[in-house]
């Protein structure tokens, strides 16, 4: 059962990376539309805001994929000097702290999303979009990141060495 859960979580992390790539493509499309609209003399409201929302979504959806693939900055310079039980203990300590802070981050992004939804807050940009819509991607991305860090903590605790 745990291997199945591990496989499914890794699929979620990979899918999260695909979503991040999609949002990066949208950023490029919005920027190109903005540039071409200035060249041809028409204006589309909110393109700068939409590209910013897509960039935030891409950043947060990419967190878990990047973490699982080993792309985040880690303390490997320090850890490679250690071995055995000491190395595992330090890794568990670091992943515990990271789990706490990523969980804290996810909790408050979800709380912010709920408050924005309840009060029907709108952005201050030209488009006045309901702000909970772009906040949803940030809350989901940070939650998946928390799951990936906690997942890595469990795998590290379970590992023999």
What are 7-66's pLDDT values in tens digits?
999 999 999 999 999 999 999 999 999 889 888 888 887 888 899 999 999 999 999 999
pLDDT digits (tens, 9 = 90+) for 75-97: 667 777 777 788 888 889 989 99
pTM for the full model? 0.88
Alpha helices in 41-126 (DSSP H): 47-68, 76-79, 84-119
CA distance 87 to 85: 5
pLDDT digits (tens, 9 = 90+) for 120-141: 999 887 778 899 999 999 999 9
Residues 6+ apart with CB under 8 A from 12: 64, 144, 147
Domain positions in the chain: 2-158
Cβ atoms of 63 and 14 within 8 Å: the answer is: no
């Amino acid at each position: 059962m745990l291997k199945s859960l591990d496989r499914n979580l890794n699929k979620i992390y990979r899918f999260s990376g695909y979503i991040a790539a999609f949002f990066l493509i949208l950023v490029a499309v919005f920027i190109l539309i903005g540039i071409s609209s200035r060249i041809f003399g028409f204006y589309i409201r909110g393109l700068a805001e939409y590209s910013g929302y897509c960039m935030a979504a891409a950043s947060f959806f990419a967190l878990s994929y990047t973490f699982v693939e080993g792309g985040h900055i880690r303390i490997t310079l320090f850890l490679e000097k250690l071995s055995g039980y000491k190395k595992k203990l330090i890794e568990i300590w670091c992943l515990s702290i990271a789990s706490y802070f990523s969980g804290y981050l996810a909790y408050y992004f979800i709380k912010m999303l709920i408050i924005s939804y309840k009060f029907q807050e709108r952005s201050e940009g030209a488009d006045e979009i309901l702000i909970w819509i772009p906040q949803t991607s940030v809350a989901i991305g940070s939650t998946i990141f928390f799951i990936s860090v906690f997942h890595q903590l469990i795998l590290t605790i379970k590992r023999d060495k």
